[in-house]
Amino acid sequence: MWITEAMNGFGLTIETTEHLCHRVSPYQTIDIYDTVKTGRVMLLDGIIQLTQYDEFAYQEMMAHVPLFAHGDPRRVLVIGGGDGGVLREIAKHPGVEKIDICEIDAMVIEAAKEFLPTLACGFDDPRVAVHIQDGSEFVKNRQGQYDVIIVDSTDPGGPGEALFNETFYRNMKAALAPGGVIASQAESIYLLPEIVERLCRITGSIFRYAGYGCIMVPTYPTGMIGVCCASDSRDVCTPAAEPDEILASKLRYYTPEIHRGCFAVPRFALEMTAPDKG
């Protein structure tokens, strides 16, 4: 059986072998399939969140770009990310002391633990504390608590809607310690250019430094997705630290060269991703 994520006039189709899980949470539908070529695939409300074939690209970039842009992160917050993949990547940094994750949907975490153990292993790290709550509420009144905040959200329109507005970004900024860095799932320049533009305008007007980084992910419609990274005190496009040999041996996508290079966007996307200081 073939399944298709249909989005904004595009479709991404994957051949499956078995429907392992279909659950309906208070927030969304959760589906996991085995596939012919791409390992297991997880969909929320019919939108592909990850496949085991290429999830490393997204999770590594979402985690290591902001962590290495910061250089010495100790306290990290993940908003969303209930599959655990971003946690797994953060846990590779021995200097990180505390990892909070705020996921609105406990059933996503349960499904990942049951069917996606290579991602949900991120929850096993003793530094991780899980908060089941709306991330846009959680981040309020946490002044100066985090070195890095990562927003691993679904697309706007579902439970992630509140994670795409300016108030949320202002609250995240307030929750950062001096030197802090944020990174958020920033959609595709081909698929959802209006969302890319919105996020770049918000981050560019709130933070001194901001950039849109491209990530190659063949199982997202249009084959790519973005990470929006921003800080008031660091040029996020340049890593402040680099992986040592041990950490580098655990990575398949992130390199310091990819970190610098991902922020170079194609000519047609320059205006769309330009930080607006207005």
Query: What residue ranges bind ligand SPD (CB under 6 A)?
Result: 47, 49-50, 58-59, 81, 83, 85-86, 152, 154-155, 185, 220
Rounded to whole angstroms, the Cα distance separating 274 from 226 reads: 14
For tokens 């990290």, name the residue.
Answer: 76
87-105 in b/e burial notation, b at 16+ Cβ within 10 A? Answer: bbbbbbbeebeebbbbbbb
Beta carbon nearer to ligand SPD, 191 or 236: 191
Please report how close the Cβ of residue 44 comes to ligand SPD at its closest, in angstroms: 8
Beta carbon nearer to ligand SPD, 100 or 155: 155
Provide the H-helix boundaries in the chain: 55-70, 85-90, 106-115, 117-120, 135-138, 166-175, 193-206, 245-248, 256-262, 270-273
Beta carbon nearer to ligand SPD, 73 or 226: 226
Please report how close the Cβ of residue 187 comes to ligand SPD at its closest, in angstroms: 7
Beta carbon nearer to ligand SPD, 83 or 100: 83
Q: Are 180 and 149 in contact (CB under 8 A)?
A: yes
Please report how close the Cβ of residue 119 comes to ligand SPD at its closest, in angstroms: 7
Please report how close the Cβ of residue 256 comes to ligand SPD at its closest, in angstroms: 23
Q: Of residues 83, 152, 232, 276, which has the active-site annotation?
A: 152
Amino acid at residue number 77: L
152 is catalytic: yes
Q: Which helix (H) or strand (E) holds 47?
A: strand 47-51
Residues with a catalytic annotation lie at 152
